[in-house]
Structure 1
């Protein structure tokens, strides 16, 4: 009986995953057009002529990213909907809601996971929570190795630590960028910031 119950659960979850993916596919064109509020809230109906309609010739609603993320949170598409909802809120300037969606997103060690950590960091930095922002930029740097993005995240972390008054940690990260990513655009900026930081430290000593 237990085996049947477990098997039934997995079949149900597979079905839910398929439904979530279908619903996400219907609303993503709205998101990709930059119509972020409608992507969040949903669209009253899908045109009967739209080939994405599950039953061609019949109008049907397209639920929004927030509802998909909530109703199908245990599925890959539901999780991805939380990421896109965070981006949509961010793009319309609702940073509190953006942060809530980003933090609900189950991050993996990939480009999307890294960019989500960085977006969270940007929001905390805008609130003046520099230590928290710096830690999240470091999470972004660790989540996905990239010759361009990683040094940028490390540079952002260094700037945030400097703003928080943690000058020794900032100096360490500026130096890491210049040493390990010497040919990157971020390294050029890091050299400038590092020189300025050392001048500041010399003045204060």
Structure 2
């Protein structure tokens, strides 16, 4: 009945009903004003804290990390892998940049370079560890890093794992270089694993989708070879 009376008030006395509602809201606000003030103040403080962190900590750290990374990249480009990895008294190596600036883009990229250094030095497991820490965000570096993990597993004599990562690398956005390149590697890993059916599938895709690639030039011979292997089983 009270509910019906309230509905009648809203229809028959709209102004009075609204004023009454506003009055109740005002009373409620005054009652909880202190709590509301603290809540709003807390939100403002949190936003200010995030902004301050980005402006005064993240940005300077990113700039410092970029400078440190640049020196290591320069040495890396000269094939001085161990020096690029560990650095010296004059500059940080990729390992230190990845550790000291782990929350920055440069720190993330240092994981990628550290993984490649370890791979080039023959330390396959360390290469996997660092490459898996790298977030390529779908860029071509993501493709290279994924394929490099496949190479590391191949070095560890784990062809099944190598095949998995080569297929994953080939499965990124299709292009005329990386896709047939990693499909070819996947076929080789599958062959080592005596999975000739998979090797045939990867090679046929190279022939069909990338006939003008360097890998496509040998596709017919490899297809015949894998078909012979399957027929002999």
Give the shorter-chain TM-score range. 0.7 to 0.9
1:9-158 correspondence runs (5 A) = 9-11=53-55, 12-45=57-90, 62-158=91-187
Q: How far is 1:144 from its partner?
A: 4.5
For structure 2, the residue ranges without an aligned partner over 5 or more in a row are 1-44
Q: How far is 1:122 from its partner?
A: 1.0
Which structure carries more relative contact order (alpha carbon 8 Å, separation 6+)?
A: 1
Output the TM-score relative to the length of structure 2. 0.75
Higher helix share: 2
Cα shift readout 1:106-128 (whole Å, capped 9, x = no counterpart): 12322211111111101112222
Match of 1:170 in 2: 199
Cα shift readout 1:141-197 (whole Å, capped 9, x = no counterpart): 123432122111111112212322333222221111111111211112232222111
User: Computing the radius of gyration over CA atoms, which structure comes out larger, 1 or 2?
Assistant: 2
Output the TM-score relative to the length of structure 1. 0.84
Q: Distance in 1 between matches of 2:86 and 2:180?
A: 36
Higher strand share: 1
Contact 2:207–2:219 (CA under 8 A) maintained in structure 1: yes
Contact 1:134–1:156 (CA under 8 A) maintained in structure 2: yes
Cα shift readout 1:47-72 (whole Å, capped 9, x = no counterpart): xxxxxxxxxxxxxxx11110101111
C-alpha change, 1:129 and 1:196, in structure 2 (3 Å) is same
Q: How many residues align?
A: 188
RMSD: 1.6
Q: Distance in 2 between matches of 1:203 and 1:33?
A: 48
Match of 2:46 in 1: 2
For structure 1, the residue ranges without an aligned partner over 5 or more in a row are 46-61
